Amino acid sequence: METKTESPIVTLSENIKTRKVKIGVIGLGYVGLPLALEIVNKGFQVIGFDKNDEKINFLKSGRSYIADLPETIMQEAISKEKFEATDNFTKLAEVNVIIICVPTPTAEDGTPNISYIVDAAHAIEQNMSADTLIILESTTYPGTTEDVVRPILEKQDFVIGQDIFLAYSPERVDPGNRNFTVTNTPKVVGGISKSCADIARIFYETVINTNVYAVTSPKVAEMEKLLENTFRQINIALVNEMSQLCYKMDIDIWEVIDAASTKPYGFMPFTPGPGVGGHCIPVDPKYLLWAGQQHGITATLIETADKINESMPNFVVERLAHYLNTQNKRLHDAEIVIIGVTYKPNVNDFRESPALNVINILRKNHCNIKIVDPFLETVIADGSTMNTVPLTKEIIRSADAVLILTNHTNINYALIDEHAALIFDTRNTHFLFKNQNYYKL
């Protein structure tokens, strides 16, 4: 009697549920590495792929280059032979689920650069076998999964939805956030077909501890991600513009925000700062701007928000110059101690940080800058490498001003408060400064 064979989706689903599949994660940055280790924690064997030799060597020795990812987790995964880091992409042939978590920066002209996605798709196409699930998590413009990744994967005559399965699920990683991590943040999934969406949903339901929300297509999921970050960009721009208005009108913007936050509905507090940074907010809305242009649409509100946020470093330096003038000092040649360069507190990521733009403006004014950031040893600003320094009483006393750009919690603000001639705090640091020359953004 002829034996009935199960369909690929049934077999792959059962193998996912019983942890018989091996998982591949391409891109071991702030998204891919925590995801890979969370998958290990759920009982799977994982191979992590990255072209960066330095990252691979770090991971092979059990070291972590992400501030809020303990090395003990890495070392345990390696010692139990549950995690392997490699730059050998032929090992993609060994895995049954492949997740793409590569960077998606913009080109110099602000247009999308999806070359890392294309490279990953080609590597998968050259090495994968049938009955494989491929999920793109990298933030990108709507249509990338269907119009860019799909044609590459179909070169081997696999039929998507039958032989292999392709879906998009946007990453939702917030570095430094202790409350919401990979495991308890809901996932959105959009598949090329219903079978693709089903198998991707089954996979995520196996590796996270919360809801998986399926949408009708990858385009919906891709657009959803852009909406999330554009929402933040626009609201940050609103409060940044409000801070400029309040300054001219001699109103404390922080008191205004606190008062508005007492409303139990219809208001969500956002806070001003020296600009926006990180791998999402300064970049993702530009993908949406570009996508709109391809369809003849000018996203005026998004474009304006982008300009407002990009104006904040200049606004910060103008304010600093004003406060120095009140002490009969000039910005030109001033001694400035900068506190914090990373794009948000308590992480070691300074990609697209507005602090870099502030530093560049200060350097153009020939300021002598010292950088204090306990999460960084060096900072690269405008092509130049600067070493960070410890926070001491001596460097504070010798400075004309201390400029707080990132409010790390492990900074000795009391020492700054006691010895600084002038403090300009762009983050409303939660410390009760008593210094008579303390100013907030």
Amino acid sitting at position 80: K
Amino acid sitting at position 204: Y
Cα–Cα distance between 102 and 14 in angstroms, integer?
28
Cα–Cα distance between 22 and 232 in angstroms, integer?
36
Q: Residue 236: CA atoms inside 13 Å, Cβ hemisphere, count?
A: 22
Element (H, E) at 424: strand 423-425
DSSP state of 96: S
Q: Are 396 and 419 within 8 A, CB to CB?
A: yes
Distances in Å between the Cα of 296 and the Cα atoms of 117, 293, 299, 388, 435 are 25, 5, 10, 46, 53
φ and ψ at 379, to 5 degrees?
-130, 130
Cα–Cα distance between 421 and 437 in angstroms, integer?
7
Cα–Cα distance between 439 and 371 in angstroms, integer?
19
Whether 280 sits among the annotated catalytic residues: the reply is: yes
From 101, 196, 246, 280, active-site residue: 280
Q: Identify the bridge partners of residue 337 per DSSP, sorted by sequence position.
A: 370, 402
Q: Give the neighbor-by-neighbor strand order of the sheet with 423-425.
A: 368-372, 335-339, 401-404, 423-425, 438-440
Tokens of 281: 């907010």
Cα–Cα distance between 430 and 105 in angstroms, integer?
33
Element (H, E) at 311: helix 300-325
Helix (H, G, I), strand (E, B) or coil at 242: helix
Burial class (CB in 10 A: 0-12, 13-18, 19+), 237: buried
Largest CA distance in the chain: 97
Contacts 24+ apart (CB under 8 A), 105-109: 105/283, 106/283, 106/286, 106/287
* Sole residue written with tokens 């750009």: 405
Residues acting as catalytic residues: 280
